[in-house]
Structure 1
Amino acid sequence: MKKNAAAALGALALLGFLGAVAVSGAAPISFHGNQSGETAQPLITPSHPAGTTLRNIDGGAAFYAQFTNPLPGTEDYFPVGVWFESALEKDYVAKDAAAGLNVYVVLTPDSDLELVRNSHMYAIPTFPAARASGFALGDEVDMWAGGGDAIWTGRYPGEGPICEPEQAKCGHTVQRRLKAEAPPGVMKYANYGKGVTFWLGDDQARTFINDYQDVASADNYWFTDPNICAISEGGALNGHLRDLTEEECRLAANYGWTVERVRELAGKDSPVWAFVEVGHPFEDAPSARTITGPQIRAAVWSSLIHGARGIVYFNHSFGGTCVTQHVLRDCPGDARPAVTAVNRQIKELAPVLNAPFLDGAVTGTGPVDHATKLHDGKLYILSAANKHTGGQAEFHTSCGGSSAVVIDENRTLSVTDGKFTDTFADGNAVHLYRIEGGGSCGF
């Protein structure tokens, strides 16, 4: 969440690629090539070119099925959640579903989980519930309790001393205690913040990411946070040498960086979800702002390209023109239309997102990050700008093919000698391709 929602944090707690082929960027992180924990083997079938590697998604396609009352494990399901909502009235739940949401990640304790399940949605609350598909641990514990094993007083931000002694760090103690409260067999989830992504050493951060939950996420709000460009925060992208410029900082590709950071820390067979804000998550300040529709879409796709296995929208605005806890229900503007549109794409492409990566099959030059997927005999290239100004990019696939269908754009590009080019208008540009015609990678 955000720095000046500390009081809300206490109340909330009380309420209970390198996933891509040739992902480019300036982040000084050493990413291991197979973050799913499974050993990637070169393909030896003659239908795939030498040098390509089929790599499973993090956790594998059947990951969720191991838990009690699980999220769906079918290829057409991809988790798209909203953070800390209420589910009390059928009309509101229907409105959430109509926007393409399918899971509530943290719910008010008076929410009706029977209504949630009858609406074909799922819930991950902070309290035990028979109809829940998970259990959420403390939110941003890495920030408000720190990386340490001191005694936890049981208090949350705004309620008095959190750790004992007062200046000690007890975040690991908090998560251990909350983990012990989870019902047996359910999927445990936790979201972290700037401690894991910016401030803590890797050993402390890895403990948070690896030891307490089955699915983790981290929330860095690159488009709206008034402090994130500082050397001590977003400066992580350049080794904490200097503040980021606005062009370096307010960039959709940085949401992908956050996903990569958590995946690199995980180093095991577990999914990482992504957090994207949809409103104005900080009180008004000179550099605080409201995210736009194009920025929402670009942030989501950057996260997916970098291997996120779920999306969670932060749905609260503490400033701007629509102060509310229910942005997607209450606020006019382009947030809800943008979220609805990108969620529709995610639903339609869920089988592709849940399919393996085909590493080594595509190289790209120019200001883009991209991931290559192989599904149902088709090669998909998911790409997004990684520079503020965008620019022209060239893709070369060793799989061949004669054309690249640009999904949802009503255009097709010619592929010649395995190459095609496209233009990315700005830092929010996203293009999704399906390669057709005579390729050698099974299509």
Structure 2
Amino acid sequence: MKGRVKAALGVLALLCLAATATISGATPLPDLTGIPARQPEPARTHPPGTTLREVDGGTAFYARFSNALPTDPGYFPVGVWFESALEKDYVAKDLAAGLNTYVVLTPDSDLALVRRSGMYAIPTFQASLASGYALGDEVDMWGGGGDAPWTGKYPGEGDICVPEQAKCGFTVQQQLRAAAPPGAMVYANYGKGVTFWLSDEQSQAFIRRFQDVVSADNYWFTDPNICAKTEGGAINGNVRDLDPEECRLAANYGWTVERIRKLAGGAAPVWAFVEAGHPFEDSPAATTITGPQLRAAVWSSLIHGARGIVYFNHSFGGDCVTQHVLRDCPGDVLPAVTAVNKQIKELAPVLNSPFLDGAATATGPVDSSARLHDGKVYVFAGANRPSGGQASFRLACGGTTAVVIDENRTIPVSDGTFTDTFADGNTVHLYRIEGGGSCGF
């Protein structure tokens, strides 16, 4: 109460002093009546045609499961397929390569070691320290799209379906799903059945009925058969074989992701598979993926909406036959994997942010997508032609500069447009738009 009285008396004294100064001819207090009141900043609106699109499944997707993968925006799944986690030194090598998730593990793996190392595991067996449960691999190819009884046998063990020529892939996945721990995130990988051979109805049944997270493996750079009319020819409606330049193209990894995302309907995360070695036995048409090819395949997948990356880590031909490519093989693949995984980790909050469709319209031989993160627009672009070329990007959200991430250069934006060169089919550029532009979301 005393404080309020003192404050009131102080105000009264100031008013009296002001009146006295004016009456006595002293310098009057400044007249504030002519200064306009501060106006609130106008609400920013987004340009027509720009739309926010949430990542498939939503940012909190993993939180719905027990012992879940992280929902932290800084986590983006970067996995390796069917590894062993037995020794600390080998797990340390995987960590150094930027891996954070084991997708299928050998049964003798030490999941306590995995967890202590800060990694996550999705095995085909129940384990208290697992962050998911994996179903059968490529069941669409060896089980087919049908509900016939399953013998419980896998390829190479004898008859799979009853009768022998029947299709029982749905039964296989349904029975394996029933063995998953309650509340676990269930994952499955498919192959050429859902991408090339089966009807859309059969493929959609595989993609939507049995698992929570899904992927499909098409090895466009190394598969000796994938360019055939009956396989990769799906890109042109199966009317002809693909020419080598059409087939051995990083952009086709993005095509695979789009195929599975369309079947999934955006309801669940789609992860992408990229081979890290020579996944087929030696033949004139079987090759080993290169470092630049691998990086471009990964980014094509991410541009097209992949919410995780899985590396196929086995080589059955080439110069380094092994089940542990990223631990055993010299060459440019391990440095490429390490570098692209570092980029993914640094950009994870962006990759987990919504797409901003319509924010950047590309003209030229590229696939691209835009994201909105922390008030900034990011544009990711990769060549979709073997020879690359020049591409222009029209920005709907303004900005004065395109910062080319990890390339130590910038490109001025003029009249809402910037242009860049893509040297070949493996070229990828990542841009952050600076200079005050905003879509107002």
Query: What's the offset of the Cα at 1:442?
Result: 4.6
Structure 1 residue corresponding to 2:150, chosen from 152, 172, 182:
152
In the alignment, is the contact (CA less than 8 A) between 2:377 and 2:438 conserved in 1?
A: no
Aligned to 2:230: 232
Aligned length: 400
Partner secondary structure for residue 254 of structure 1: helix
Aligned to 1:17: none
Which structure has more relative contact order (CA 8 Å, sep 6+)? It is: 1
List per-residue Cα deviations over 1:107-158 (Å, max 9, x = no partner): 0000000000000000000000000000000000000111111110000000
In the alignment, is the contact (CA less than 8 A) between 1:49 and 1:440 conserved in 2?
A: no
Aligned to 2:294: 296
Aligned to 2:367: 369
In the alignment, is the contact (CA less than 8 A) between 1:251 and 1:387 conserved in 2?
A: yes
Partner secondary structure for residue 170 of structure 2: helix
Partner secondary structure for residue 349 of structure 1: helix
Distance 2:154 2:233 in 1: 29
**1:82-101 → structure 2 map (5 Å cutoff):** 82-101=80-99
| 1:341 is the counterpart of 2:339 | yes
Write out the 4+ residue segments of structure 1 that deviate beyond 3 Å after TM superposition.
Answer: none
Query: What's the offset of the Cα at 1:301?
Result: 0.1
Aligned to 2:62: 64
List per-residue Cα deviations over 1:366-397 (Å, max 9, x = no partner): 00000100000111000000001100000000
Aligned to 1:209: 207
Partner secondary structure for residue 75 of structure 1: coil
Distance 2:438 2:331 in 1: 45
Distance 1:268 1:212 in 2: 16
**1:209-358 → structure 2 map (5 Å cutoff):** 209-358=207-356
Aligned to 1:49: 47
In the alignment, is the contact (CA less than 8 A) between 2:85 and 2:105 conserved in 1?
A: yes
In the alignment, is the contact (CA less than 8 A) between 1:378 and 1:442 conserved in 2?
A: no
List per-residue Cα deviations over 1:25-75 (Å, max 9, x = no partner): xxxxxxxxxxxxxxxxxxxx6332122111110011000011000000010
Aligned AA for 1:257? W
Partner secondary structure for residue 163 of structure 1: coil
Aligned to 2:73: 75
Aligned to 1:10: none
Aligned AA for 2:311? Y
Aligned to 2:357: 359
Distance 2:323 2:438 in 1: 50
Aligned AA for 1:422? D
Aligned AA for 1:381? V
Partner secondary structure for residue 273 of structure 2: strand
**1:31-50 → structure 2 map (5 Å cutoff):** 46-50=44-48
Distance 1:155 1:298 in 2: 38
CA RMSD in angstroms, aligned pairs only: 1.1
Aligned to 1:110: 108
TM (normalized to structure 2)?
A: 0.90
Structure 2 residue corresponding to 1:385, chosen from 378, 383, 386:
383
Partner secondary structure for residue 130 of structure 1: coil
TM (normalized to structure 1)?
A: 0.89
Partner secondary structure for residue 222 of structure 1: coil
In the alignment, is the contact (CA less than 8 A) between 2:44 and 2:440 conserved in 1?
A: no
Aligned AA for 1:127? F
Aligned AA for 1:195? G
Partner secondary structure for residue 128 of structure 1: coil
In the alignment, is the contact (CA less than 8 A) between 2:135 and 2:176 conserved in 1?
A: yes
Aligned to 1:394: 392
Distance 1:193 1:357 in 2: 27
In the alignment, is the contact (CA less than 8 A) between 1:141 and 1:174 conserved in 2?
A: yes
Distance 1:87 1:369 in 2: 37
Distance 1:313 1:47 in 2: 41
Aligned AA for 1:412? T
Query: What's the offset of the Cα at 1:440?
Result: 3.0
What percentage of aligned pairs have identical amino acids? 77
Partner secondary structure for residue 52 of structure 2: strand
**1:173-184 → structure 2 map (5 Å cutoff):** 173-184=171-182
Aligned to 1:123: 121
Distance 1:293 1:47 in 2: 42
The structure with more radius of gyration: 2
Distance 1:167 1:66 in 2: 39
List per-residue Cα deviations over 1:192-237 (Å, max 9, x = no partner): 0000000000000000000000000000000000000000000000
In the alignment, is the contact (CA less than 8 A) between 1:139 and 1:192 conserved in 2?
A: yes
Distance 1:186 1:249 in 2: 37
Aligned to 2:32: none
Aligned AA for 1:263? R
Query: What's the offset of the Cα at 1:268?
Result: 4.2
Distance 1:220 1:183 in 2: 29
Query: What's the offset of the Cα at 1:415?
Result: 0.2
Aligned AA for 1:266? A
Distance 2:381 2:49 in 1: 21
Query: What's the offset of the Cα at 1:438?
Result: 2.1
Distance 1:124 1:416 in 2: 48
